[in-house]
Structure 1
Amino acid sequence: MSRQIVNLLAILATIVVNFLANFLPLNGLTTGEISGRFAVYFTPAGYVFSIWGVIYLWLLAYAIYQLAPARRNDEYLQRIGWLFAYSCAANVAWLFLWHYLLFPLTVIAMLALLLLLIAIYLRLDRGRSAASPATRWAVQIPFSIYLAWISVAAIANVTILLDYWNWSGWGVPGEAWFVVMLATGLAIAFAAAHPRRDIAYAAVIAWAYLGIAVKNTAPALVAIAGWAAAALAALLLLAVILRKRPV
């Protein structure tokens, strides 16, 4: 079976498993219900997770785009190799582990997914390799959106695991750790999006951080930090939009 067909089947399987995980639901729990069990600040408001629909539709568009016989030997698409199929497997694994409450293993699956997407992103050389409009929209942008969201999700996943373990924070208040995590996410976003003028990546970070701010209305430090971070994420998006394309 060709890599192109495997890629299409992989994303279709991922979409189906994600749908069934919440429709059945898997293990009697929806993804959001499990997340709601944990009082962590870094989780966005529920509506923010609608971005999964955008991600899956765009990844499906990529899978269909690369399926064309004329693109079988496309050198740019070959940079991705089998990494996309592996990332789908990691996504599906995470869903099962999450729904069966195996939280330590969810972090392993999430980090595997994150590393695979980073590898794809670097191989695509977003913002630096010349690409046609079709390639930008069908290949580069889907992975920018996916990686940006998983970057946020990975931080949230780790915070949930720490809450699950009743981690004391080494005596540091949770509000302070929240600020550290917000800053970490922004630093990663700046390093990824600004040099490459990756508007899609920055837009997802702004969307996620706005959702985090909306969700956290108290205590005061958390609310202020959340809105300050959301404002910085919006400024990052603006800076990326206004930045000239790399030569």
Structure 2
Amino acid sequence: MNKNLASMSTRLIVTVTFVLMVSMNVLANALPLNGRLTGEISDLYGNLFAPAGITFAIWGVIYLLLGSHVLYQWGFFHRRGHLDGGLLSRIGTLFSLSSVANTFWIFAWHYDFIWLSALLIIIILAILIAINQTLVSLELTRREELLLRLPFSVYFGWITVATVANITAWLVSIEWSGFGLSEPVWAVVIIAVAAAIGTVTMLRNRDIAYGLVLIWAFIGIVIKHTSDAGFAGNYPAVIVTTTACLAVFVASEAVIVWRKRPRRA
């Protein structure tokens, strides 16, 4: 047995749960599940944080990256290195749990169990935090950065935003009053808090890919608020706040690039 590979049982579970997750996400819209598209349910719980529909195209990138990681678990693109199979098994086990939670999320979302979908996405977020904290503490080769860290950085970045959006949708579903504050005020607060959490995370982990995902998501929010198909500029405070957050993200990415630059001897 190659000691640099995860156990056979882990590789099988990783593969099965990944295929199940992708299949259910595809079938949810192809059938569609419960007679409704995933995006249609989002529209039922419309809020000022949700980004434009085009933003969700990132799922295709996420699935491709995660698929490359599954192949890596099987030894493809793999070279003997300092990472042992035990580490890959732990990452694979956590990844499998996130795939199962993602699969159940689809059912919860499509059958209007919004509270359950929010709980499941928080579980996915917690798992991805654990995976990323494990990987960020390691000295990785370029190949390992590409096939181990990158897939989970991108996934983590998107789930960070999706968690906020899902919780916001749940609050809409229970007709939360917002303690008397207006929806635009809460949108500004939520966007600012999400941006602060994201900025701290990307800087602490020195994670360029994570930051790029946040930039993509927040551009989607701006598009939604400025386009005629969206809110047509009716909430300028939200647009200004989101744009300011984008500037912070870009500045943070520049700081990360500067910190990662090669040092002269």
Normalising by the residue count of structure 1, what TM-score does the alignment of the two structures yield?
0.93
**How far did residue 235 of structure 1 move?**
2.6
- Map residues 166-181 of structure 1 onto 2, 5 A cutoff: 166-181=175-190
Q: Is the 8 A contact 1:197 1:245 kept in 2?
A: no
**How far did residue 8 of structure 1 move?**
1.3
CA distance in 2, matches of 1:246, 1:108: 42
**How far did residue 190 of structure 1 move?**
1.7
Per-residue CA deviations over 1:125-179 (Å, capped at 9, x if unaligned) read x2x4211111110010100000110010000001111111111100112112111
Question: Per the alignment, in what secondary structure is the counterpart of residue 14 of structure 1?
Answer: helix
Q: Which residue of structure 1 lines up, in the alignment, with residue 150 of structure 2?
A: 141
Aligned with 2:49 (options 18, 42, 49): 42
**How far did residue 123 of structure 1 move?**
1.5
**How far did residue 39 of structure 1 move?**
2.5
CA distance in 1, matches of 2:13, 2:51: 33
Question: Per the alignment, in what secondary structure is the counterpart of residue 91 of structure 2?
Answer: coil
Q: Which residue of structure 2 lines up, in the alignment, with residue 113 of structure 1?
A: 124
**Identity across aligned pairs (percent)?**
38
CA distance in 1, matches of 2:97, 2:164: 21
Aligned with 2:239 (options 223, 226, 230): 223
CA distance in 2, matches of 1:245, 1:107: 39
CA distance in 1, matches of 2:96, 2:203: 28
- Map residues 17-28 of structure 1 onto 2, 5 A cutoff: 17-28=24-35
CA distance in 1, matches of 2:214, 2:239: 18
Aligned with 1:130 (options 135, 139, 143): 139
**How far did residue 75 of structure 1 move?**
4.2
CA distance in 2, matches of 1:203, 1:23: 29
Q: Is the 8 A contact 2:102 2:121 kept in 1?
A: yes
Q: Which residue of structure 1 lines up, in the alignment, with residue 19 of structure 2?
A: 12
Q: Which residue of structure 1 lines up, in the alignment, with residue 218 of structure 2?
A: 209
CA distance in 2, matches of 1:192, 1:140: 15
Q: Is the 8 A contact 2:47 2:168 kept in 1?
A: yes
CA distance in 2, matches of 1:152, 1:18: 18
Number of aligned positions between the proteins:
245
Normalising by the residue count of structure 2, what TM-score does the alignment of the two structures yield?
0.87
Give the alignment's Cα RMSD to 1 decimal.
2.0
**How far did residue 89 of structure 1 move?**
0.4
Indicate whether 1:244 and 2:251 are aligned.
no
Indicate whether 1:51 and 2:58 are aligned.
yes
CA distance in 2, matches of 1:45, 1:81: 32
CA distance in 2, matches of 1:32, 1:106: 14
Amino acid at match of 1:186: A
Q: Is the 8 A contact 2:10 2:89 kept in 1?
A: no
Indicate whether 1:183 and 2:199 are aligned.
no
Per-residue CA deviations over 1:110-129 (Å, capped at 9, x if unaligned) read 111111111111121x2x42
Larger Rg: 2
Give 4+ residue runs of structure 1 displaced > 6 Å after superposition: 69-72
- Structure 2: state its 5+ residue gaps: 1-7, 226-232
Per-residue CA deviations over 1:5-25 (Å, capped at 9, x if unaligned) read 110111111111100001111
CA distance in 2, matches of 1:222, 1:243: 31
Question: Per the alignment, in what secondary structure is the counterpart of residue 80 of structure 1?
Answer: helix
